[in-house]
Structure 1
Amino acid sequence: MASGGSSIYKGSDLIRDYNCSKCEEDDLNTEAQHFCPQCEHYLCDKCVGVHGVYFKKHTVYGRREIQMWSGFSLDKCDQHGDKLNVHCDDHKELCCSVCVALNHRLCSSISHLPDMARGFLKTKEFKQLPAAVDQMRSMLDELRNARMKDRASLRDSYKNLIAEIKDLRKEINKILDELEKNTVEQLDSLRKDLDQSSKDDLDTCAHMNDQLKTMVDKLQQITGKLKETNSYIGFIKCQTMLSKTNSMVQNIQKRPKEGMKFKSDESVTQFLRNLNNLGNVEIELSMSKTTDTVHVYKTESQSRFSVQIKKDGIQCNISGICELPSGEVVICDFINNRVKLLNQQYKIIDHNDLPASPWHMCYISGNEVAVAVNDYNVLYEVHFLTMTRGQLQAVRKFTTDYHISYIAHHQGQLYVCTENVLYRYTIDGQMKNKIYDSKSYLNTLSSCAVSPDGERIYVTKSSDHELVTLDKVGQVLYTFEDPELQTPTALCVSPSGHVFVCGFDSRIVLQVDREGRQKLATVVTGTVYPESVWFSEATSSLIVGGRDNNIIVVKLC
């Protein structure tokens, strides 16, 4: 039979709730972590290994399944196995004698369970318990069925994504096949030209060779009275042909030997080496309206971290912030024309210099970000950078026809903010359509962001002190104004849909509702003049940057 149970050893404060049956046979005091119902033995971590060697088919229960241990019942302590006899009123817990000895010695009020239970069977709460349990079991059944459907949907989604990946591979193969075809055609054309040149030389040599032989043969066949005169004429013609042939031979010999070689486009192989995969597999979140909870945040703490490096000529101006899935933070420094990579402790670990000022940046997917780079009347570009092994690397870029002040990304679409107009671009730089025009003579639009479902687009109109919410085709849904929101600049939308907008002149960050209709909270005050903001859901922190050598990390709760 199983032995064990709660034990208090004299002369020691060491208390064991269940003792290892095998260790007790050797007069050892070892706490049991497992129970085998077939053997009716309590086992420690060491003895359960030996037990598993000899009894491989026995089912062994651990501490998390203590209800399966021998002797479990409603009136026994789940943790220690002793009979429950008191209630700690301070902690609202049922306790056995071991519980009291270990955890409740200093509690002010402990009640005897029989006294508390007197007359309880007649109470409304007790009579309604079976119905409440049935309701909860129904909810569990519904949840179980829903999760089973989710698993089936996950399997289907996996198959569909595998098909998408294979289709992408086929498309890439087609592109590579076309590149190979074009390169081989170029090689064939060059070979044909070189071969024709060699053939022309061969034909010339053969022709002159034949001419020289013919002239010598005829010279040797001259007879008659005019033999001497005609021989002289033949001699002169032969000399002329020899001179001509010699000149031709020297010209051919002086020409460099022509051959062919292949020089690969290193940008192709380098681009492929920089890729970690064909795309990024991400978790797609879909939340029902019943669970779409809005959290209203408030500031818990605030810290400052320097983002200046020795190469920076003047004070930093942080115009864009992104966080990568692995926790690194990427920022762009408008004044010093560079992008900087920060580790999870906000220490700079790498940087990448740009040809002009980075006005803003947005997260794309994986470890890739896009940066809007502008030099008035000279250069308007979007640069794509990726983090590989803790370093920033330029991947590609495309050019636009106008200045870009802000940039956002959603499901392969880029939302590009100029001074007055919002455009939608493809990820490879093709302009699809104009979404919104502020129709203002002032440089009105200063930022844009997209809701996680893509149904709402937010833009700030700095000169009008407004946050405007658009639908996905650019129709105005709501316009938000607040006395605190002076000269709105940066804004961000978290993956769960929380919206934060910065007031530059008022030096604040507001949280607004998802429709952009009303203020929920003023989460940051008295910060630097904010020009960039990012909300990290992993750390529940706002990262704020502006005209300062430091970023502000605000812990929210």
Structure 2
Amino acid sequence: MASRGSSIYKGSDLIHDYSCSKCEENDLNTEAQHFCPDCEQYLCDKCEGIHGEYFKKHIVYGRGDIQKWAGFSLDKCEQHGKELEVHCDDHKELCCSVCVALYHRLCGSISHLPDLARDLLKSAEFKQLPGTVDKMRSRLDELKNDRMKDQESLKDSYKNILVEIKDIRKEINKILDQLEMKAIAQLDSMMADLEKSIKDDLESCVYMHDQLRTMIEKLQQTTGKNKETSSYIGFIKCQSKLNEAKCLVQEKRGKVGMQFKSDESVLPFLRNLNNLGNVESFPSMTKSNDTIHVYKTQSSKRYNVKTRKSRTNCVIVGICELPNGDVVIADRGHKTMKLLNRQYEVSDNFGLPASPLHLCYTKGSEIAVAINDSFPITHEIHFLKVTKRKLHTLGKFTTVHECTSVAHHQGQLYVGSDSAIYQYSMDGRLIKKIYEDLEFTVHTCAVSPDGERLYVTKSDSKLITLDKTGQVVSTVEDSDIIDPIGLCVSPSGHVFVCGHGSYTVVQVDQEGTQKLATVASKADGLCQPLSVWFSEQTSTLIVGNYMNDNLTFVKLC
């Protein structure tokens, strides 16, 4: 796709994305470098100089402010500023000559506007248009007033919730302060007891030491005719005191000290808390179908995800992006999971016991992988987590049926086999069979953000939408959805489907009733696409191709 500021040739004429309005009046074809919103005219450098002499107060935007160029005009192309001349019936768009040359050269049906406009002024629909516009403007005014009230209410809610969070924190601090005080009181009590014990021992040692010294001195100083008797008495008393001292010395006393052993449940409990609580929006604040955008391709790139030691081609059957921007892919060709960093380089490989066929995001930095092989028979769902830029296993469970796809919503897994879709708990308990079709193969499933719809691709080139009970509520068939396999639903509800046989990725409406746009094709580097993920952080489609070492990244706008 040509970028703004470029020019292309059509026949012998040079076609600019913006042409100088003044030069066109003189049958000259000059590329515009400026735009005056007051005059609603595009100007080349020469004409801008003349314009500046006459209209010194007009603000003129250059190429650096090209996003401000397109002023509103009924008969002008908003993108290129040229006269609208035709209508592309394939894309249902009004087009100028540049639009046709750049984007619609291969379209099958293009109509001349004068032919389409014939007898329009007499039609009832045209006559009713002013009234319809007035009604819509009134509704927009009502919506604007409601949203202004919501804006104020939202600010009040924010303040109130902030107070609640801080109150909870104060209460937690109060509890922790009380626990701290109890621990310190226990410490103080034990300290006093131990200090008293040591003080008593010190006093006993000093007293016994002095008694022994005094007794032996008096014994040695005994004289007179009763010396022998007095010595005997002193001897007996000294022996008794020695026995007391001996008991004091030999009494077992370990090293006196203290240590603190914390309650081992406290820190793990606090670390395992994800939040002090959950902030939830009211139903009126949730996104409606009106927020769904119809995307167009802006540019595309390819990134090689094959590791050096690999000899066979990659077969990327599953893709998901983690909240931190890292991407995890399932490579059936090498029976591995691969972690890509933000530069889309392989930063880790994780080998699997069998072929992965699909994956889905669950929570945090965790994913679920559907693994399936015939020899030996393997039907398993594996759970992996990314920690410190490495993939680690969390566990698995086995099913009695094949595991060809997996989707997750609020702790429930939807596991696809070749002919059916089953609902499981996260610990592997089968809840029920959601859907079954014995005639056509079930390829992939995905769940809407609200959990009300389940999208399923099938081998009869159909995308079907199921309600929560498993009933088919809508079906999409289109020439750009041939042999659909890969499928994804973004957190905002945008639905994208891979046409494996048509080399396309198609955007479908939330209800699964119609195609909204073909957002990527073979021209963008697709080669029998098998998997797709839409990154709302970067407005980028990430597409995995069959027997191809390259991931295709399609920037949308």
TM-score, scaled relative to structure 2: 0.52
Output the CA distance in 1 between the equivalents of 2:474 and 2:131: 47
Residue 150 of structure 2 corresponds to residue 147 of structure 1: no
Match of 1:227 among 221, 230, 255: 230
Return the alpha-carbon distance in structure 1 between the equivalents of residues 192 and 336 of structure 2.
Answer: 52
Q: Is the 8 A contact 2:465 2:475 kept in 1?
A: no
Does structure 1 residue 493 correspond to structure 2 residue 489? yes
Tell me the equivalent position of 1:551.
551
Tell me how far 1:126 sits from its aligned partner. 11
Q: Which runs of 5+ in 2 are unaligned?
A: 1-21, 39-46, 61-67, 77-81, 88-97, 99-118, 372-377
Using the aligned pairs only, state the percent identity.
22
Pick aligned residue for 2:385 from 383, 387, 398: 383
Kindly indicate whether the alpha-carbon contact (under 8 Å) linking 2:330 and 2:337 is maintained by their aligned counterparts in 1.
yes
Q: CA separation in 1, counterparts of 2:431 and 2:249?
A: 75
**Residue 31 of structure 1 contacts residue 44 of structure 1 at CA under 8 Å; is this kept in 2?**
no
Contact 1:317 1:546 in 2 (8 A): yes
Aligned to 2:533: 534
- Say yes or no: does 1:43 pair with 2:57: yes
AA aligned to 2:140 is L
Provide the C-alpha distance between the structure 2 equivalents of 1:382 and 1:480, rounded to a whole number of angstroms. 34
Q: For 2:321 and 2:154, how far apart are their aligned partners in 1?
A: 27
Cα deviation for residue 534 of structure 1 reads 1.4
- After TM superposition, give the deviation of residue 43 of structure 1 in Å: 1.7
Instruction: Trace 1:85-484 onto structure 2 (pairs within 5 A).
Output: 125=122, 132-164=129-161, 166-168=163-165, 170-171=167-168, 196-207=193-204, 209-210=206-207, 226-246=229-249, 255=255, 258=258, 284-287=286-289, 304-309=302-307, 318=316, 320-323=318-321, 329-331=327-329, 339-343=338-342, 347-349=343-345, 351=347, 362=360, 369-372=365-368, 381=383, 383=385, 402=397, 408=407, 413-417=410-414, 422-423=423-424, 436-437=432-433, 448-458=445-455, 470-472=466-468, 475-478=469-472
* Distance (whole Å) between structure 1 residues aligned to residue 142 and residue 415 of structure 2: 49
Q: Is the 8 A contact 2:498 2:505 kept in 1?
A: yes
SS of 1:543's partner is strand
**Distance in 1, Cα, partners of 2:514 & 2:86:** 41
Q: Name the CA shift for 1:175/1:478 in 2 (closer, same or farther; >3 Å).
A: farther
User: Structure 1 pair 453/499, CA: closer, same or farther in 2 (3 Å)?
Assistant: farther
1:321 is displaced (CA, Å) by 1.9
Work out whether residues 321 and 535 of structure 2, in 8 Å CA contact, stay in contact via their aligned partners in 1. yes
Once the two structures are TM-superposed, the CA of residue 191 in structure 1 deviates from its matched residue by 6.2
Return the alpha-carbon distance in structure 1 between the equivalents of residues 458 and 299 of structure 2. 30
Q: How big is the shift at 1:306?
A: 0.8
**Amino acid of the residue matched to residue 322 of structure 1?**
C
2:64 corresponds in structure 1 to: none
Letter matched to residue 423 of structure 2: L
Query: What's the Cα RMSD here?
Result: 7.1
Quote the Cα distance in structure 2 between the aligned partners of 1:63 and 1:549.
Answer: 41
Q: CA deviation at 1:520?
A: 10
8 Å CA contact 1:417, 1:445 repeated in 2: no
Shift of residue 450, structure 1, vs aligned partner: 1.6
Give unmatched runs, 5+ long, in structure 1. 1-5, 21-27, 36-40, 47-61, 68-73, 79-86, 93-102, 104-121, 386-390, 426-430
Distance 1:556 1:181, change over 3 A: same
Quick one: structure 1 residues 284 and 528, their matched pair in 2 at CA, closer, same or farther if it must change by over 3 Å?
A: same
Contact 1:32–1:43 under 8 Å retained in 2: no
The one-letter code sitting in structure 2 at the alignment partner of 1:306 is N
Q: CA deviation at 1:167?
A: 3.6
TM-score, length basis structure 1: 0.52
Letter in 1 for 2:289: M
Classify 1:355/1:129 alpha carbon distance in 2 versus 1 (closer, same or farther; 3 Å).
closer
